[in-house]
Chain A
Amino acid sequence: MSVNILMPALSPTMTEGKLARWLKKEGEAIASGDVIAEIETDKATMEVEAVDEGTLGRILVEAGTEGVKVNAPIAILVADGEAVPDGAPTAAAPEAASTAPAASPVVASAKSAAAPAPAPAAEAAPKAGRVFASPLARRIAAQKGVDLVTVKGSGPNGRIVRRDVEAAVAAPVAAPAAPKVVPQSTPTIDVPHTAVPNSSVRKVIARRLTEAKSTIPHFYVAMDVELDALLALRAQLNASSPAEGPGAFKLSVNDLLIKAVAVTLRRVPKVNASYTEDATILYDDVDVSVAVSVPDGLITPIIRNADRKSLSQISNEAKELIARARAGKLKPQEFQGGSFSISNMGMYGVKEFSAIINPPQAAILAIAAGEKRAVVKGDALAIATVMTVTLSVDHRVVDGALAAEWVAAFRSVVESPLSLVV
């Protein structure tokens, strides 16, 4: 018999999303586990896997359609050789969700036409979107209007517990609705042009950066940092890596700088912070967000507890996260949160730049290219590899002296880099 494939929920709070792309065509055979489509929300892109096998009988929602409600039928799956039923699916069809396994993104079988009422979105949520939270955390989150997807769990296996929700309440993620922040004066353009529709990601970038730059009093502290010792250490460490196998690693300069930032945040922990109306939140963990450019914008995957990880761990984790970020495959918890950001444009030969803070964080470090420069050592000219870093800070939390102290500490860590390996 035919089965409706429903719009999955990527997270318990998702109500609608964009059907970005079909990866199977009508009439194509589908095996259980095949990726059949891609769904996009303002936060992530996810693959939809088939639960049942059969033939994709009819696509009901065309690729590129926005605002598709969760649990709405998006396609009809038929048994091999079976005729595709005529007409739109009946109202009873989507309710098959309630018979699907809870963690299954796509409805498996419509066993009864008289199935009970539609399952709540949370029950049909795909595995990657499942939020682990204690019942008490869920209840407080519901009472305080906190979206658990945005909360980082500190309980066993990253489970969200009460204190996490309370911390989230104390440090509200300033995400006012877009219309309040983005000026609505869209100019009329009548010269010849091409209009590229804004993707969900582009809209989020626009909203968040506008909000950050217009609500956070930024100021900037720049310093030149000599890289030679760090480069020597990197060469030495990379030479010590096994040629291949699970223990192999190849550290990038960026990996060492992530670790240097984490070590510095431990030394000057007041910068590992967020401003809220009532309190300055000082984070227990050092979670470093790393800005990664992706074809459609940028995203900030997080190296959590970077201060406690070895360089090879950071390196392997960063490689893996960046690869998935570029493929649009990051899970929400992998890029939401973080306590400090790094933006590295060294590879483009940038001399220096200032970055926009990634709220609710209080600081971001802009890293420019390392280059050989003439420096004065003693009273003589010498050659050193130097990069200019610029720390953008939220002046509500970080005062000038503190920002300067942080940057100086960072320089000391980078210029005497042994603390990165002990």
Chain B
Amino acid sequence: MNKTEFDLVVVGGGPGGYVAAIRAAQLGLKAAVVEANHLGGICLNWGCIPTKALLRASEINHLLHHLGEFGFAADNVRFDLQKVVKRSRQVAGQLSSGVGHLLKKNKVTVFDGFGALAGKDGSRRLLSVTKDGKPVATLSAQNIILATGARARVLPGLEPDGKLIWSYREAMVPTEMPKSLLVIGSGAIGIEFASFYRNMGAEVTVVEVLDRILPVEDEEISALAHKAFVKQGMTILTGAKLGPITKGANNVSLSVEAGGKTHAITVDRVISAVGIVGNVENLGLEGTAVTVERTHVKVDATCFTGEPGIYAIGDLAGPPWLAHKASHEGVMCVEAIAGRHVHPIDPLNIPGCTYCRPQIASVGLTEARAKEAGHKVRVGRFPFIGNGKAIAMGEPEGLVKTVFDAETGELLGAHMIGAEVTEMIQGYVIARTSELTDAELKETVFPHPTISEAMHEAVLAAYDGALHI
């Protein structure tokens, strides 16, 4: 086998692609990754990871302005935005080179360039790799996994211009703090930027066309988040209709209709966070059986596209657009290719996390969706104010909500808002994946004092009654 022949080539080195390649190498396949930009993809370079570095900085800024609550005093608290941004970039850089080392360690060949399907050679698939329009290599592989991810959706009139209107990318590397900011879209990405900039001191307005923020979360959690953000000083307009945008020299004006009123808004910067679209272009899909539907590649439960030897995973293969979904699909897809018996992913077992302050995390069905699905439900709630650790931490705002099937005791969903909930949701995810019922959750001993005790209490609350409220 010469160096351009592989068992598996993965197009895209994001959290779906590079994980798939490592798993393939572990299973003894000769694997390659073709990446046009940075190893680690958007997640690691322009998404999940650098935003967590920024949000950590904004959390520190928040604490520095509330030192008095803990008995400290400090004068002249300030920050250097360039250093905050630089740290975020260093974190991304460190992890991206870490991915490079992981691939090298696993003997995965990395091609720097843009990969596209280029026909067949017998039963083998061909893939052309180009860099700046020039051919770099032609690879031949038994199987190809497409993992090219997604990018921000662009609304007409809201095209990011790099100056006044930002996508996530510009929002991550500000050169100066905007005094005021409009965030369009209240999904996880919009809310995280809103939280970062608000906690760094900007005036933030969030507009959402639907009737509540974080629309995929449980309604109660949305409402609590709304209340918490307003208390922090954000302006939130839901059920909003946006008027045309007027760009000034260093600001943007528009009118927003919401709640029966017209709001005239002028802000320094606008962040557009209105969803994402799959990177399906120029992949050489023409003439193959691969089907693209609403900017995503259609796949079956094992990520097979219908075209022999071609698979698609992660954001490219459709929602939920989450790095951990992509990685899991990558592993599953490779194991299926290697002939292992795999279990398709249940979307209801994929947790979702939003790293705003307060944090939000959930898995499974919301109460409303559980009822729509015909379940008779038992709902448990436990507020952080009843949790000793949360109070000691100075984080008494939060709620854990559980939704059980009243007949079978199945944990249908769990919804959390408050400090550290993104680190705790996995407990409920394990419960769902292993099909635990209320009985096992009740009998589980949670360590004291931890905020996780609120998860136990929320289970008890759905049945016999919580102990500490």
Chain A interface residues toward B at CB < 8 A: 134-137, 139-140, 143, 154-156, 161-162, 305, 308
Contacts and interface: CB of A to CB of B under 8 A. Distances in A.
Nearest to B407: A143
Contact of B435 (A136, A154, A305, A308): A136
Contact of A135 (B339, B341, B407, B439): B439
B410 interface: yes
Contacts of B439: 135, 139
A139 B434 contact: no
B142 to A, nearest CB: 14
B368 interface: no
Given A134-B434, A136-B408, A139-B439, 18 more contacts: A135-B435, A135-B436, A135-B437, A136-B409, A136-B410, A136-B435, A136-B436, A136-B437, A137-B435, A139-B408, A140-B408, A143-B407, A143-B408, A154-B343, A155-B343, A156-B343, A162-B410, A308-B339
B407 A134 contact: no
Contacts of A139: 408-409, 437, 439
Nearest to A138: B437
25 contacts: A134-B436, A135-B434, A135-B435, A135-B436, A135-B437, A135-B440, A136-B408, A136-B409, A136-B410, A136-B437, A137-B435, A139-B408, A139-B437, A139-B439, A140-B408, A143-B407, A143-B408, A154-B343, A155-B343, A156-B343, A161-B435, A162-B410, A162-B435, A305-B341, A308-B339
Nearest to B432: A136
A181 to B, nearest CB: 32
Interface string B340-373: 0101000000000000000000000000000000
Contacts of B408: 136, 139-140, 143
A139 B409 CA distance: 8
Interface string B428-459: 00000011110110000000000000000000
Identify whether the interface residues of B are mostly helix, strand, loop, or mixed: loop
A152 to B, nearest CB: 13
Contacts of B434: 134-135
Contacts of A162: 410, 435
Contacts of B409: 136, 139
Contacts of B343: 154-156
Chain B contact-residue range equals: 10 to 19
A52 to B, nearest CB: 32
A45 B173 CA distance: 71
Contacts of A155: 343
Q: Which of B339, B341, B435, B437 has the most CB of A within 10 A?
A: B435
Contacts of B440: 135
A187 to B, nearest CB: 49
Contacts of B407: 143
Interface of B: 339, 341, 343, 407-410, 434-437, 439-440
A68 B206 CA distance: 73
A308 B434 CA distance: 27
Nearest to B434: A134
A58 to B, nearest CB: 42
Nearest to A134: B435
Closest 4 CB pairs of A and B: A134-B435, A136-B435, A135-B437, A136-B410
A134, A155, A305, most chain B CB atoms within 10 A? A134
Contacts of A308: 339
Contacts of B339: 308
A137 B436 CA distance: 9
A137 B440 CA distance: 13
A33 to B, nearest CB: 33
A154 B341 CA distance: 10
A159 to B, nearest CB: 9
Contacts of B341: 305
A156 B343 CA distance: 8
Contacts of A156: 343
A400 B191 CA distance: 60
A278 to B, nearest CB: 16
A305 to B, nearest CB: 8
A143 B409 CA distance: 11
Nearest to A285: B341
A137 B410 CA distance: 10
Contacts of A305: 341
Nearest to B441: A135
Nearest to A144: B408
Nearest to B346: A163
Contacts of B435: 134-137, 161-162
Contacts of A134: 434-436
Contacts of A136: 408-410, 435-437
Nearest to A305: B341
B313 to A, nearest CB: 21
B432 to A, nearest CB: 9
A161 B349 CA distance: 14
B377 to A, nearest CB: 15
A136 B431 CA distance: 10
Nearest to A154: B343
Nearest to A158: B341
A18 B341 CA distance: 38
A333 B421 CA distance: 42
B186 to A, nearest CB: 34
Contacts of A143: 407-408
A82 to B, nearest CB: 42
A139 B436 CA distance: 10
Candidate in A135, A140, A155, A308 with the most chain B CB atoms within 10 angstroms: A135
Contacts of A135: 434-437, 439-440
A156 B341 CA distance: 9
A305 B342 CA distance: 13
A89 B407 CA distance: 43
A160 to B, nearest CB: 10
A408 to B, nearest CB: 26
A136 B439 CA distance: 10
Contacts of B410: 136, 162
Contacts of A161: 435
B373 to A, nearest CB: 14
A139 B408 CA distance: 7
A70 B54 CA distance: 64
A140 B435 CA distance: 11
A161 B408 CA distance: 13
Most central of A136, A137, A139 by chain B CB within 10 Å: A136
A156 B340 CA distance: 12
A135 B436 CA distance: 5
A37 B239 CA distance: 75
A136 to B, nearest CB: 4
Nearest to B439: A135
A155 B434 CA distance: 9
Nearest to A160: B435
A137, A140, A305 pick with most chain B CB within 10 angstroms: A140
B340 to A, nearest CB: 10
Contacts of B437: 135-136, 139
A143 B406 CA distance: 13
Q: Output the residue of B341, B343, B407 with the most chain A CB within 10 A.
A: B341
Nearest to B341: A305
A291 B395 CA distance: 66
